[in-house]
Amino acid sequence: MAVAKYSLSTWAFCRRKLSVSVGDGLLLITVSCKCKGTTLTEWIEKIENCDSVAAIEEIRIAVFGKKGVLAKAFAEMKTAANEEKAGIAKELNEVKAKLNSALNEKKIVLETEALKVAMQAEGIDVSLFSPLSERGATHPVMDTMDRVVEYFSNLNFSVETGPMVEDDFHNFEALNLPKYHPARDMQDTFYFKDETLLRTHTSPVQIRTMMNTKPPIRMIAPGSVFRRDFDITHTPMFHQVEGLLVDEKGKVSFANLKFILEGFLHHMFGDVEVRFRPSFFPFTEPSAEVDISCIFCEGKGCRVCSKTGWLEVLGCGIVDPNVFKAVGYKEVSGYAFGLGIERFAMLIHQIPDLRSLFEGDVRLLEQFR
Ligand code: PHE
């Protein structure tokens, strides 16, 4: 092609030149070998000299924007003679492609640099020593509960649960504790209207499980229970684990109960002596309270065991026939036991005041990490 230079501003007078003034720059679209790239080079230089993504963006708008030099050039091209249009369009498109790739390349370079700078400024130095952050721990009560549950789970006892808001039937009546019974006195609790109450022990879960399943049963029931108590060894809310085993009549004896509980207490307290002391629970007959030899004085007698050498740790017995009657079980035998988790935790960790377990004082809790 013979045309040397197109200057858009002088288009009407000089069809040889095609150029557009833009701000301080000038876009010259060149088609001849002689003039090729004169101001295209300038634009490219401008692009290469850019030192920020924002500056690149400014040039992009000046060149490619709606009112940019290329738009103008294309618009003015329409006024060119028909036979020249194709040639001019080709040249303009080439210029467009070159500027586009120059802009994109420079943009990538600048963005990469900016990222590097930002990373240096905001990056985290992983080699930097930092003081250890506060580490949480399982609460001693839950930790003790887990140990108990794990022991019986390993012996194939299922883990059952029941509601904390119980009704009178499951908490008392079905457990052979009728309304007039004096043993209810020891388990005063929080009552709602309509015969519901906060359960005083986990024993109602025995009733619920028996009413929902057929024998044989081998279960434990861990959970919170509530009583109207508050002193150095009692809190209004505490935790128990209940145990119940039911099988055919004549199959379950006190000897089985003793064997299971002795193994369990040795697991929890180590090499202690275990003593079964006759006691009373309305839902078991015979009933026993179980003591271990004092782990603090090894049975010699100290403050913790009130000089007796023994620590009471749980209640148990052979399930009373009236309980089986209440749930409609016939021709069965079984044993049951119940223990307070806080009592176990207090003994294991030598915690003098049970109430401190629920005060949320980190100075106490951080000792159990
Ligand atoms: N439920 C009794 C209590 O809370 C404990 C217990 C459970 C005793 C099962 C015997 C059998 O005191």
CATH number of the domain where residue 196 is located:
3.30.930.10
Ligand 1: does its nearest atom lie under 6 Å from the Cβ of 201? yes
Same domain, 215 and 268: yes
Same domain, 103 and 180: no
* Count of alpha carbons within 13 angstroms of residue 166, beta-carbon side: 28
Q: Could you say which DSSP state residue 346 is in?
A: H
Ligand 1: does its nearest atom lie under 6 Å from the Cβ of 336? yes
Whether 309 contacts 326, CB under 8 Å: no
Contacts of 341 (CB under 8 A, 6+ apart): 141, 144, 145, 148, 222, 238, 239, 240, 241
Report CA(279)–ligand 1 centroid distance (Å): 11
DSSP bridge partners of 6: 29
Whether 326 contacts 207, CB under 8 Å: yes
Q: Read off the pLDDT of each residue in 120-135 and give the average, rounded to a whole number.
A: 80
pLDDT at position 299 is: 85
* Count of alpha carbons within 13 angstroms of residue 233, beta-carbon side: 9
Residue 357, amino acid: L
Domain interval for residue 38: 5-122
DSSP bridge partners of 191: 197
Q: Distance between CA atoms of 303 and 18, rounded to whole angstroms?
A: 107
Q: How confident is the model at residue 11 (pLDDT cuts 50, 70, 90)?
A: very low
Report CA(158)–ligand 1 centroid distance (Å): 18
**Is the pLDDT at 125 greater than 80, yes or no?**
no
Ligand 1: does its nearest atom lie under 6 Å from the Cβ of 187? no
Distances (CA, A) of 236 to 83, 225, 227: 101, 8, 5
Report CA(202)–ligand 1 centroid distance (Å): 8
Q: Count up the domains in the chain and report the number.
A: 2
Among residues 88, 122, 156, which one ends one of the domains?
122
Cα torsion angle, 96, 101, 104, 107, sign: negative
- Say how far residue 175 (Cα) sits from the centre of its chain: 39
- Residue 97 within any structural domain of the chain: yes
**Is the pLDDT at 31 greater than 60, yes or no?**
no
Among residues 89, 122, 155, which one ends one of the domains?
122
Of ligand 1's listed atoms, the one at least distance from the Cα of 339 is 5
**Is the pLDDT at 245 greater than 90, yes or no?**
yes
- Residue 135 within any structural domain of the chain: no
Same domain, 100 and 168: no
- Say how far residue 317 (Cα) sits from the centre of its chain: 40
**H-helix or E-strand containing 266?**
helix 254-269
**Is the pLDDT at 1 greater than 90, yes or no?**
no
Q: Is the pTM of this model over 0.75?
A: no
Same domain, 71 and 182: no
My answer on whether omega of the bond before 286 falls inside 30° of 0, hence cis, is: yes
Ligand 1: does its nearest atom lie under 6 Å from the Cβ of 284? yes
Q: Give the pLDDT confidence of 208-230 residue by residue, as tens digits.
A: 999 999 999 999 999 999 999 88
Among residues 59, 89, 122, which one ends one of the domains?
122
Q: Reduced to 3 states, what is the DSSP secondary structure of residue 26?
A: strand
Q: Distance between CA atoms of 8 and 28, rounded to whole angstroms?
A: 8
Q: Reduced to 3 states, what is the DSSP secondary structure of residue 115?
A: helix
- Closest residue by Cα to atom 2, ligand 1, is 338
Q: Read off the pLDDT of each residue in 335-363 and give the average, rounded to a whole number.
A: 90
Q: Could you say which DSSP state residue 281 is in?
A: E
- Residue 130 within any structural domain of the chain: no
- Residue 38 within any structural domain of the chain: yes
Q: How confident is the model at residue 363 (pLDDT cuts 50, 70, 90)?
A: confident
Whether 79 contacts 88, CB under 8 Å: no
pLDDT at position 35 is: 32
Same domain, 152 and 283: yes
Ligand 1: does its nearest atom lie under 6 Å from the Cβ of 340? no
Same domain, 20 and 97: yes
What phi and psi, each to the nearest 5 degrees, are found at residue 280? -135, 130
Q: Reduced to 3 states, what is the DSSP secondary structure of residue 20?
A: strand
Q: Give the pLDDT confidence of 43-73 residue by residue, as tens digits.
A: 888 898 889 888 899 888 888 888 888 888 8
- Closest residue by Cα to atom 7, ligand 1, is 338
pLDDT at position 104 is: 92
User: Whats the size of the chain, residue-wise?
Assistant: 369
Ligand 1: does its nearest atom lie under 6 Å from the Cβ of 334? no
- Closest residue by Cα to atom 9, ligand 1, is 337
- Residue 24 within any structural domain of the chain: yes
Report CA(261)–ligand 1 centroid distance (Å): 14
Same domain, 250 and 324: yes
The residue whose two tokens read 């209640």 is: 315
By most ligand atoms within 8 Å of CB, the mutation choice from 279, 283, 319 for ligand 1 is 283
Q: Reduced to 3 states, what is the DSSP secondary structure of residue 369?
A: coil
pLDDT at position 240 is: 97
Q: Give the pLDDT confidence of 343-356 residue by residue, as tens digits.
A: 999 999 988 888 88
- Residue 310 within any structural domain of the chain: yes
Same domain, 62 and 112: yes
> How would you classify the pairing of strands 5-6 and 310-319?
unpaired
Q: How confident is the model at residue 169 (pLDDT cuts 50, 70, 90)?
A: very high
The pLDDT > 90 percentage for the chain reads: 51
- Closest residue by Cα to atom 6, ligand 1, is 338
Report CA(166)–ligand 1 centroid distance (Å): 16
**Among 64, 66, 80, 62, CA closest to 17:** 80
Same domain, 31 and 155: no
Report CA(342)–ligand 1 centroid distance (Å): 15
**H-helix or E-strand containing 33?**
none
Same domain, 220 and 305: yes
- Residue 84 within any structural domain of the chain: yes
- Residue 219 within any structural domain of the chain: yes
Report CA(338)–ligand 1 centroid distance (Å): 4
**Among 269, 294, 280, CA closest to 261:** 269
**H-helix or E-strand containing 248?**
strand 237-248
Query: How much is the mean pLDDT over the chain?
Result: 85
Q: Read off the pLDDT of each residue in 160-180 and give the average, rounded to a whole number.
A: 95
Same domain, 179 and 87: no
- Closest residue by Cα to atom 4, ligand 1, is 201
Same domain, 107 and 147: no
Number of C-beta neighbours around residue 353 at 10 A: 13
Residue 319, amino acid: V
Q: Read off the pLDDT of each residue in 111-133 and give the average, rounded to a whole number.
A: 84
